[in-house]
Amino acid sequence: GTNDQFFAYVAYGCDLFEEGSLVNLTASIIGNVFGFKAIKALRLEDMRIPFAYLKTFQGPATGLIVERERLDKFGRPLLGATVKPKLGLSGKNYGRVVYEGLRGGLDFLKDDENINSQPFMRWKERFLYCMEGVNRAAAATGEVKGSYLNVTAATIEQMYERAEFAESIGTVICMVDLVIGYTAIQTMAIWARKAQMILHLHRAGNSTYARQKNHGINFRVICKWMRMSGVDHIHAGTVVGKLEGDPLMVR
């Protein structure tokens, strides 16, 4: 740092925040304070959240043990990959990649953050071909397989429609993007718990405020907020590969 950088510890009373509302919490913690003229830059490094307030949030529905029991996989890391190329494949070719990856030994394939419902592949087509690949790979290997179906959409109503269709065709996991917003994330987490669906969160958009070391929000804080919201997984960057990711942070 420099001589004009300082750490400040700020305490808030719990009564200042609505119970179970991440939106209300963040409206205060990262609201107008980041726009004050008196400061050149501001970064939220960490939060210690009182247990009493934390208990007003749903939290994740499944832990590591429950997920392993659902997948019947123990004693090793779960191995996954993302379908590439992320954009441009037809539904049939997309499903073929899913099948080949799972047949080759992966536990999961996943949609990328910007795969929603584009002209080259509509969401329902993708879901059906993906699940065909999942079911064929599961039958061939005798293992539980999965594909993270991205239910991110323009409105909550559309996301419900996609998530309910994904549930109806037998997926064990679906995903949403961080850019849908805190209210939508909490809403989908509540749905996922009721549906007994594992919910993955892709951190798309996170780096717009997490990478600068003198301004924004530390990814550690985003992780805590998402756990409070109720997602089971969060995309954490990579130690190697194209995405930034500090080894200690990823760990």
pLDDT of residue 240: 59
- For the cut 60, the answer to whether the pLDDT of residue 1 exceeds it is no
Taking the C-alpha atoms of residue 142 and residue 35, their distance in angstroms, rounded to an integer, is 56
Cα angle: 49, vertex 52, 55; to 5 degrees? 90
At residue 211 the predicted structure's pLDDT band, cuts being 50, 70 and 90, is confident
At residue 249 the predicted structure's pLDDT band, cuts being 50, 70 and 90, is low
Judge contact between 221 and 206, C-beta under 8 A. no
The helix (run of H) or strand (run of E) holding residue 205 is: none
At residue 89 the predicted structure's pLDDT band, cuts being 50, 70 and 90, is very high
pLDDT of residue 213: 86
Give the chain's radius of gyration (CA, Å): 20
Q: Which of 15-24, 68-77, 178-187 has the lowest mean pLDDT?
A: 68-77
Residues in a beta bridge with 82: 110
pLDDT of residue 242: 58
Whole-angstrom CA distances from 89 to 83, 97, 104, 240 are 10, 10, 20, 26
Peptide bond connecting 247 to the previous residue in cis, omega within 30 degrees of 0: no
Q: Work out the average pLDDT over 95-100.
A: 97
- For the cut 70, the answer to whether the pLDDT of residue 245 exceeds it is no
pLDDT of residue 13: 93
Q: What is the mean pLDDT of the chain?
A: 91
- For the cut 80, the answer to whether the pLDDT of residue 238 exceeds it is no
DSSP 39-62: -S--EE------HHHHTTS---S-
- For the cut 80, the answer to whether the pLDDT of residue 237 exceeds it is no
What's the one-letter identity of residue 148?
Answer: Y
Q: Which active-site residues does the annotation give?
A: 84, 202
- For the cut 80, the answer to whether the pLDDT of residue 241 exceeds it is no
Domain ranges for the chain:
58-250
Q: Work out the average pLDDT over 225-244.
A: 80
- Fold exhibited by the domain 58-250: TIM Barrel (3.20.20)
Judge contact between 133 and 99, C-beta under 8 A. yes
- For the cut 60, the answer to whether the pLDDT of residue 109 exceeds it is yes
The answer to pTM > 0.85 is yes
Q: Encode burial over 210-220: b for 16+ CB neighbours within 10 A, e otherwise.
A: beeeeebbbbe
Judge contact between 182 and 24, C-beta under 8 A. no
Whole-angstrom CA distances from 35 to 46, 186, 214, 215 are 19, 26, 14, 11
- For the cut 70, the answer to whether the pLDDT of residue 243 exceeds it is no
Taking the C-alpha atoms of residue 180 and residue 118, their distance in angstroms, rounded to an integer, is 17
**What are the structure tokens assigned to 98, written together?**
């899913």
Taking the C-alpha atoms of residue 153 and residue 93, their distance in angstroms, rounded to an integer, is 22
Q: Which of 31-40, 100-109, 181-190 has the lowest mean pLDDT?
A: 31-40
% of residues, the chain, pLDDT over 90: 73
